[in-house]
Amino acid sequence: SAQAEASVSPASLPTMAARWAPPAGLLLLLLLAVLLPARADRPARTAHADDDPEASSAVFQLYGNVYPHGLYYVAMSIGNPAKPYFLDVDTGSDLTWLQCDAPCVSCSKVPHPLYRPTKNKLVPCVDQLCTSLHGGLSKNHKCDSPKQQCDYEVKYADQGSSLGVLVNDSFAVRLANASVVRPSLAFGCGYDQEVGSSTEVAPTDGVLGLGSGSISLLSQFKQHGITKNVVGHCLSMRGGGFLFFGDNLVPYSRATWVPMARSAFRNYYSPGSASLYFGGRSLGVRPMEVVLDSGSSFTYFSAQPYQALVTALKGDLSKTLKEVSDPSLPLCWKGKKPFKSVLDVKKEFKSLVLNFANGKKALMEIPPENYLIVTVSIPQPDRLFCK
């Protein structure tokens, strides 16, 4: 039988579209976050935490990985009685939504039975959250009647979309102080979706919108006095990790802080512009705006910095690595021996560094193991190392 062949690539595939991707500039995945607690798969409370509800935090187990799944998601319990749903974590959009039976016009196959709303859960068009939602989407919001429901349509850069109605329902959430809260939160009941293949089972039931708009779940937690308006996560190299709302788990040591800047692209979180370095040397491209978007599977560069990085990579590689073709990755290198993990070739590559203009000595180092991945193809016998 043919032996599987592994190849390693950075999280940057130009064939994959990012949610709410900007037309140019650098899109930096939150997977590269520098706020690292003791372990990526286990949250640790900081010394200042207390039991005041405002100071508490909500912690969620993260599932998924960059490759091959291409997304991270959480399980949330919604409704009464509460039922589990998988939500794609997306800091690049505001609205949380589930595929639902309202009835459904176009829905993909999902891991759980479709959410079923009731009329008493509908959010009216005149509600402030409906106004906020439309302000972040189209700037065009008109209500013909006070009893009119709040309809919406969200579109993503990967050509996906969700058409639905805004509803209110309870979310069962266990906090870091061991208490359980059940706030009634607004989210989308999507009954007409364009989300890829309709024959394959989707990995999630919907999207968890964590943007900076008022309609985002993070903002609603703040409005209910449950947590502070802070979101963070830590990802394990083995896949998974944890996501948290609130400031109890923020690591105040071994962290670099950069003020957030207002992004030119919707409600993105942006630490501002950054200069690009490779192996301690500037790549000679002008500073780029960086936005953080966990709904994007990969890190994206515009053409000029991408080409500058590729040129630097190729010019610095050891002669023990041979460039070869790969069916899904734009760059690939083969070694003399099979690679079992990216750590096998860590010494062959240099770190990529983002130098943020907003922070004092705010350098974000991206080591080789954070921009290289192992892929598998058949039937070639050797393992490949790809970018």
The mean pLDDT value for 281-286 works out to 94
The candidate with the shortest Cα–Cα distance to 20, out of 162, 158, 207, is 158
pLDDT at residue number 103: 92
pTM of the model: 0.81
pLDDT at residue number 44: 52
Angle at the Cα of 239 from the Cα atoms of 238 and 245, rounded to 5 degrees: 125
Residue 52 annotated in active site: no
Which member of 90, 158, 169, 205 is catalytic?
A: 90
Percentage of the residues of the chain whose pLDDT score is greater than 90: 45
Which member of 169, 247, 293, 326 is catalytic?
A: 293
Residue 41 annotated in active site: no
Report the distance separating Cα 305 and Cα 276, nearest Å.
Answer: 8
pLDDT at residue number 14: 27
Span 13-22, pLDDT tens digits: 222 223 333 3
Span 177-197, pLDDT tens digits: 889 999 999 999 999 998 765
Span 266-279, pLDDT tens digits: 678 899 999 999 99
Higher pLDDT, 108 or 380: 108
pLDDT at residue number 20: 33
E-strand spans in 30-183? 58-65, 71-78, 83-90, 97-99, 151-155, 161-174, 180-181
pLDDT at residue number 376: 64
pLDDT at residue number 28: 33
Report the distance separating Cα 72 and Cα 110, nearest Å.
Answer: 16
pLDDT at residue number 12: 35
Phi-psi region of 231 (alpha: psi -120 to 50; beta: other; left: phi over 0): beta
Contact 213, 219 (CB under 8 A): yes
Determine which of 83-92, 149-158, 300-309, 325-334 has the lowest per-residue pLDDT on average. 325-334
The H or E element spanning position 307 is: helix 303-316
Higher pLDDT, 62 or 235: 62
pLDDT at residue number 332: 84
Domain boundaries, the chain: 58-245, 272-386
As a whole number, the mean pLDDT across the chain is 80
Determine which of 66-75, 112-121, 160-169, 206-215 has the lowest per-residue pLDDT on average. 66-75
pLDDT at residue number 210: 94
* φ and ψ at residue 80, rounded to 5 degrees: -140, 105
Percentage of the residues of the chain whose pLDDT score is greater than 70: 79
Tell me if 58-245 shares its fold with 272-386. Answer: yes
Span 133-179, pLDDT tens digits: 988 666 677 888 888 999 999 988 778 899 999 999 999 999 988 89
Specify the CATH number of the domain 272-386.
Answer: 2.40.70.10
pLDDT at residue number 355: 94
pLDDT at residue number 180: 94
Regarding the domain with residue range 58-245, which homologous superfamily does it belong to in the CATH classification? Answer: Acid Proteases (2.40.70.10)
